[in-house]
Amino acid sequence: MTDSHRLTPAPLVRRTKIVATLGPASSTPDMIRTLAVAGADVFRLNFSHGSHEDHGARYAAIRDVEAELGRPLAVLADLQGPKLRVGTFVDGRVTLGKGDRFRLDLNDTPGDVHRVKLPHPEILSAAEPGSHLLLDDGKLRLRVLSRGEGSLETVVEVGGVLSDRKGVNVPDVILPIPALTEKDRRDFEFALSLGVEYIALSFVQRPEDVEEAREIANGAAWIMTKLEKPQAMERLEDIIRLSDALMVARGDLGVELPPEEVPVAQKRAVREARRQGKPVIVATQMLESMITSPTPTRAEVSDVSNAVFDGADAVMLSAESAAGQYPREAVEIMARVTARIERDPEWRTRLHALRPERDGSTGGAIAEAAWHVAQAVHASAVVTYTQTGQGALRIARERPDCPVLALTPDDDTARRLAVVWGVRAQSVGQEMPIFGVEGVVDQAVELAQYEGFARKGEKIVLMAGLPFGQRGSTNTLRVVDLP
């Protein structure tokens, strides 16, 4: 990726990026290439399913497609996290009625209509009278009446059929359960050995959960916190501050929050992530009907549009691309919807209205100035030379009208920026610091023209840091006329 002439000219026609999950329907090299050509910028490896061998083969195929297309593709390893489940029943299932008493305990005996094993003593010790337990993705709801030694006595508030090993959610209690299981730790190390750009962390309740993941990654990958627990919403600012990126995982979040609260949480999370300059993905059920249908519902299109209007960096496909019958069509629809919304004047008006306040940093001030200058001179692109990606994140935070071209000496940085709003990143090798700012200008002009972002007689705005080689030193702004 270090040779600019390997680039495939492809003007950026949309700012919002697309994340596609790989699975049985999309694991062949041909399909991965098809999804990338259709518009996927990031590929998600879901470690809740598949073996290390499966994920290794998919990762290798992604890198082959990346080399063929000549543009960076990011890989996101999504860890499973703790899975809390009830035990088994004598007959495989029971029917619980509203008002029934039901006990959860540590007894290994198969359950019946009166009780079942809950093999998670942390829940039994943390729940208090009045706490709620949601079973089977929230289809059943129990309220705790009392806590005994290794057991909870509950009353059924919402009944239904409960079968073997269905999931348990505890929305109103912080559970003393680590975000990383032993399986997650093995998957984490394997994902790092592959060289993925992002590790998605599930079951985050506290900032300390993110700190632990950061220590394990040790800079080898960026940590993407999945927002799926109500407890995380209470510490949202601190959690985002410790994260490199955020995913609003509305599936799990929607189980533990009342449905009317999920859109509010989504907007708050997107707004706060943007304020802190961290990439944010909106995920889950965006085009769910396309698992079995070649076209989405109008409500789903509106859902995707809403995320784009809010300024999310990326929108994500889960089962639609991993196991659905129409993975290519799902990516194409996502690309069409995002591109269409971004052509609407209301979209631009809302992005300007939602621009965050100054963050007080030198780099932030340069990025804000670049936004104003680009507006004033009608720049065709903002070009930033960045070693760590922070310069690109800062200008993306401002949501400029023109595309952002990020030049970096590092392949990993270029790939990490594939998820960032409006940024087309390219690795240009290690030679730029040697040639100084004029060399950066020449390289910026060449790539901006080659990529189709700017033509002769137009202007670009250049952001860089001097002296070169000093990380996080964005302090230079320059307007360049293309000869």
Backbone φ and ψ of 142, nearest 5°: -115, 145
CA dist 173 and 170 (Å) reads 6
CA 228 to each of CA 68, 197, 256: distance values in angstroms, whole numbers, following the listed order? 36, 21, 8
List the catalytic residue out of 63, 83, 85, 139.
Answer: 85
CA dist 318 and 321 (Å) reads 6
List the catalytic residue out of 14, 15, 44, 274.
Answer: 44
Catalytic: 455?
no
Number of H helices, E strands in the chain: 17, 21
Query: Is residue 76 within 8 Å of 197, Cβ to Cβ?
Result: yes
CA dist 229 and 171 (Å) reads 7
Q: What sign for the dihedral angle of Cα 311, 313, 317, 321?
A: positive
96's enclosing H/E stretch is strand 93-96
CA 125 to chain centre: 33
Query: Is residue 8 within 8 Å of 452, Cβ to Cβ?
Result: no
Catalytic: 355?
no
Name 91's Cβ contacts closer than 8 Å, sequence gap at least 6.
Answer: none
List the catalytic residue out of 33, 141, 226, 235.
Answer: 226
Longest dimension (CA), the chain: 80
Catalytic: 284?
yes
List the catalytic residue out of 154, 284, 408, 413.
Answer: 284
Residues forming a β-bridge with 142:
133, 156
Catalytic: 358?
no
CA-based nearest residue to 124, from 177, 179, 183, 166:
177
Name 257's Cβ contacts closer than 8 Å, sequence gap at least 6.
Answer: 171, 230, 265
Which residues are part of the catalytic machinery? 44, 85, 226, 284
